[in-house]
Amino acid sequence: MKNNLVAVLLCLLCFSNSFSQELKEVIYKDNTQILKGLVITSTKGNLQPGVLILPAWKGIDQEAKDAAVELHKIGYNVFIADIYGEGNIPQDNAAAGKLAGMYKSDYNAYQHRIKLALQAFIEKGVDPAKIAVIGYCFGGTGALEVARANFDVVGAVSIHGGLSKGSDRINGPINTKVLVQHPAEDKSVSKADYDNLEKELKEGKADYQIITYANSGHTFTNPASNDYNPTMAKRAWNHLILFLEEVLK
């Protein structure tokens, strides 16, 4: 009996340790530009499903880090992308708006940086056939760009992201599953933006879902924001987990 109890305790300890790692910095490059992502992976030998997080407009922040840790506890390997690169992290809203705006306009450059992050993630050990991308704010725009570019991922989640794209861009097929978490009171997204995205998803024959969260401003999931709505943030998180369970398991 005593030996059996010791064996059970050792198994539980091993399982706990396999999903108790910390976020670690990952250096990767876009030509000469140094990029510094963060990764948290399982110590299990087999490849695990993974989630790539695209951070908000000021770069890797606490919300992205907290989400990575919580997703890892569930059993996912997680990588937080560095879109801007070393030496380019904005220090205020004005700088963040200018830099994020540049990537939104030059969507090819944005897609390229996301692709580099995906490659770095795969190199760190994740099942390449089971990767989903989620993004907050500016990163939510990036998640939609992943779907538009038809990257080889199984799901894309835009969390209070910008929904628009250039009027000169045509709608094309969208192969990955898409979840859009949209705050009802987001003043940065117009009705036309919302309607055009839904039209794009329909014309692309996407498997999509748009969930609108009542009484919620733009950054409603971020505890550090004045827009934070704990009730809706919890619902959004639960909806995210359900989506990831579907596409990654």
- The pLDDT profile of the chain, 249 residues, written as one tens digit per residue, is 444 444 433 443 443 444 446 999 999 999 999 999 999 998 776 789 999 999 999 999 999 999 999 999 999 999 999 999 999 999 999 999 999 999 999 999 999 999 999 999 999 999 999 999 999 999 999 999 999 999 999 999 999 999 999 999 999 999 999 999 999 999 999 999 999 999 999 999 999 999 999 999 999 999 999 999 999 999 999 999 999 999 998
**CATH architecture designation of domain 23-248:** 3-Layer(aba) Sandwich (3.40)
- Domain regions of the chain by residue span: 23-248
Distance, in Å, from the CA atom of 239 to the CA atom of 236, rounded to the nearest integer, reads 5
Q: Which residues contact 90 (CB under 8 A, 6 or more apart)?
A: 57, 58, 59, 84, 96, 98, 99
